[in-house]
Structure 1
Amino acid sequence: MARELLYVDTNHVLDSKRWREVLRLLNGFGHWMQLSVFQCRLTVRRRSEMKASLQGEMNMAEDHSLIIDLGPADGMEVRVESPGKPYETPKRQATVV
């Protein structure tokens, strides 16, 4: 099995239609945390696919996305502080395609 890395993707998309498309796209790659922030467990190949897909949806002159590499996903305990509504850690589960 390919090694997964943990990423946080944050994005700023100016057009509301493009923003909705980017959110729809990122839902296929990771777990929505809030507004324009996603937590993603990805292999290097899936990260490349996500980046290429984002570039296809975004206006590269107006929008941007930050893909932050947090390191190997296995064994990493993600600690999130969430003043206000409690943050729920995503549950890992198999997805049949």
Structure 2
Amino acid sequence: MSKEYLYLITYDISDPKRLRQVFRIMEGYGEWVQLSVFQCRLSPRRYQRLIADLEKEIKQHEDHVLLFKLWAADTQSAEFVSIGKAFQPITKEPVII
């Protein structure tokens, strides 16, 4: 049996019809957390299938889906895949007081 990982998936879909379709896709893979946010427990195979399903539905230059791979809290690291619009994570910068 393949190892499963916990993912946090968020999306911003510009068209209401595509938004409903993405919501239906996500319902098949995980649990709805809040507006446009799902948590999913996925094997590598289901993760790849989810990405393929989402890529078929979204418009690459109008929509945006982020998939965050989460680990135990003590690792404090995450991987993500950005589908659609470009995404840059916020970098940690020093605060001068």
Q: TM-score, normalised by structure 1?
A: 0.72
| Structure 2 residue matching 1:51: 3-state secondary structure | helix
Q: Which structure has the greater CA radius of gyration?
A: 2
Equivalence for 1:19 = 19
Shift >4 Å, 4+ stretches = none
Structure number having the greater strand percentage: 2
Aligned residue-pair number:
72
Measure how far apart 1:35 and its partner are: 1.0
Equivalence for 2:10 = 10
**Aligned-pair RMSD on alpha carbons?**
1.0
Query: How far apart, CA to CA, are the structure 2 residues paired with 1:28 and 1:57?
Result: 14
| Amino acid across the alignment from 2:4 | E
| Amino acid across the alignment from 1:40 | C
Q: TM-score, normalised by structure 2?
A: 0.72
Identity %: 46
| Amino acid across the alignment from 1:13 | I
| Structure 2 residue matching 1:20: 3-state secondary structure | helix
Unpaired runs of at least 5, structure 1 = 73-97
Query: How far apart, CA to CA, are the structure 1 residues paired with 2:64 and 2:45?
Result: 21
Q: Deviations over 1:43-64 (max 9, x none)?
A: 0110000001000010111001
